[in-house]
Chains A and B, each alone.
Chain A
Amino acid sequence: MLLINCPYCGEREQEEFSCGGEAHIVRPKNPPELSDDQWADYLFLRQNIKGLQYERWNHSFGCRQWFNVARNTATDEILAIYPIGTKPPKIDSNDPITPCGEPQIGSGNFSTSKK
């Protein structure tokens, strides 16, 4: 279970939070002018990154505030927390070397960590 440092309340167990998915997807200002494909892009398509992902979290069983988190989805490490409406920070993360590969940490077994 993750340990999340809520910018308003401090470190709390993940169970108090809910994840709102990929961050920095802005709702289009001109929906009537968009094609079905463009609307689908906003509504459904996601980067679903393996590695450094910027995402939204809500302290739903706490202060109910939303904030952004930079997390490595290949290791679950939280690398930064920053306010809604601000630009994502630049971060060095331990991304996998190959797109589908594993990061340079142990995996619970010995064979896949060698790569």
Chain B
Amino acid sequence: MIKKPKKYSVFSLVRNALSYHENWQPAWRNPEIKKNYDAIIVGGGGHGLTTAYYLAKNHGVRNIAVVEKGWIGGGNTGRNTTIIRSNYLWDQSAALYEHALKLWEGMSQELNYNVMFSQRGVMNVAHNLHDVRELKRRWNANRLNDIDCDWLNTEQVKKFCPVINTSQNIRYPVLGATLQRRAGTARHDAVAWGYARGADAMGVDIIQNCEVTAINVNNGNVTGIETTKGTINSKKIGVVSAGHSSVIAKMAGIKLPLESRPLQALVSEPVKPVIDTVVMSNTIHAYVSQSDKGELVIGAGTDGYNSYTQRGGFNIVEDTIMAIVELFPIFSRMKMLRHWGGIVDICPDASPIISKTHINGLYFNCGWGTGGFKATPGSGWVFAHTIANDQPHKLNAPFSINRFSSGELVDEHGAAAVAH
């Protein structure tokens, strides 16, 4: 029997404080594994948990297991720099990410769990004429796609983010920026926990420490999975295991256009508020925001080789810090407190795959590369639709695996190489 979770509020906090916090109930159950499920989601990260949540909520499929190798939210959900935006160039991407952004906007209330979605704006900075042209192209496309976006000149950049170095004498001066004001950051762990709590309340079994070792296929139909906790049967399996997508695909004999790369990030020691927005620069490769705890959150680039070690080269981190110090000379005396790595699976066109496969009942959601966190609710929404109807939602139809054969790629590498 599923017990409806007690609602969180100021009142519940006070009530619990008065009873010395003895009466909090688990945010999600630690369930017994059933033999059969209507759907299994492989991967208990943000995308997997939202998939289960929306399968249950939007499609009435409630007999679901989410199987997670480690602890929920322990993969890229808990390792990213939490940037949320929807200012993508191509219509297909813009629509998908904008759908996600709208879900972010109501998420805390929907889940009764404060994910601290903070719409403090994301600035994408231009450093040369090529950047200006590319970013203006994106800005114009965003505008007509009804995605809020402003173009800021150098003075407006300085006004919006006073700590950025807009001197025109630096190696790559700031020539302008796009600004999406509705964009921002969120508390990444809370997203996993909030959706886990919500899914659990609708009957979804969240099974941690359960590693998938094989996918069972019979006559072109998926029948279930083998795990370190035994066989689990289901006719529908959605795989959302970023980093390890290729490894799981191989279990079903599928080859994907993915490469798994280390992606590193770091935070500084916490300080009082100093930067009130998110600044991203593709050209010199720096992006930074400040968390509610006061830490500067900084993302580095991917390494140039495949690796499943969740570690990358320190040279990549150095390059990022050089760019940060270049763009924010006042941060030179700040200190790196904590550094970590994740495994991102990267698609050739820097867009995700949310797709059916040639095996009936087997679905893949992967290839989010370095930017999957922002899509979390939207990704789960459309993937749940795809699994429930065995048909893609109109938002993820362009992200089929078939595009690599047809050539209909959605190239979101941002700025193409400079040349003339």
Contact = CB atoms under 8 A, between A and B. Distances in A.
A58 to B, nearest CB: 10
A113 interface: no
Range, interface on chain B: 35 or more
A47 B245 CA distance: 11
Contact of B244 (A14, A19, A45, A100): A100
Given A48-B256, A48-B259, A53 B306 contact: yes
Contacts of A19: 304-306
Interface in B289-339: 304-309, 311, 313-315
Given A44-B348, A112-B70, A100 B309 contact: no
Nearest to A39: B405
A6 B211 CA distance: 38
B248 to A, nearest CB: 7
A41 B306 CA distance: 19
Given A15-B315, A73-B306, A100 B69 contact: yes
Interface in A33-52: 36-37, 39-41, 43-50
Interface residues of A, number: 32
B309 A76 contact: yes
A55 B307 CA distance: 12
Interface in A70-105: 71, 73-76, 98-101
A28 interface: no
A62 interface: no
A44 B345 contact: no
Contact of A40 (B211, B258, B306, B405): B405
A43 B257 CA distance: 9
B306 A48 contact: yes
A75 B304 CA distance: 16
Contacts of B247: 48, 50, 99-100
Given A45-B255, A46-B258, A100-B211, A76 B307 contact: yes
A111 to B, nearest CB: 8
A41 B309 CA distance: 26
Contacts of A49: 246, 306
A21 interface: yes
A50 B250 CA distance: 11
A1 B307 CA distance: 12
Contacts of B306: 19, 21, 48-49, 53, 55, 73
B260 interface: yes
Given A36-B406, A39-B405, A46-B246, A21 B259 contact: yes
B212 interface: yes
A44 B213 contact: no
A12 B69 CA distance: 37
A52 to B, nearest CB: 12
A48 B345 contact: yes
16 contacts: A14-B313, A15-B313, A37-B405, A41-B255, A45-B257, A46-B246, A46-B259, A47-B255, A48-B247, A48-B256, A48-B345, A55-B305, A74-B308, A76-B307, A100-B213, A100-B244
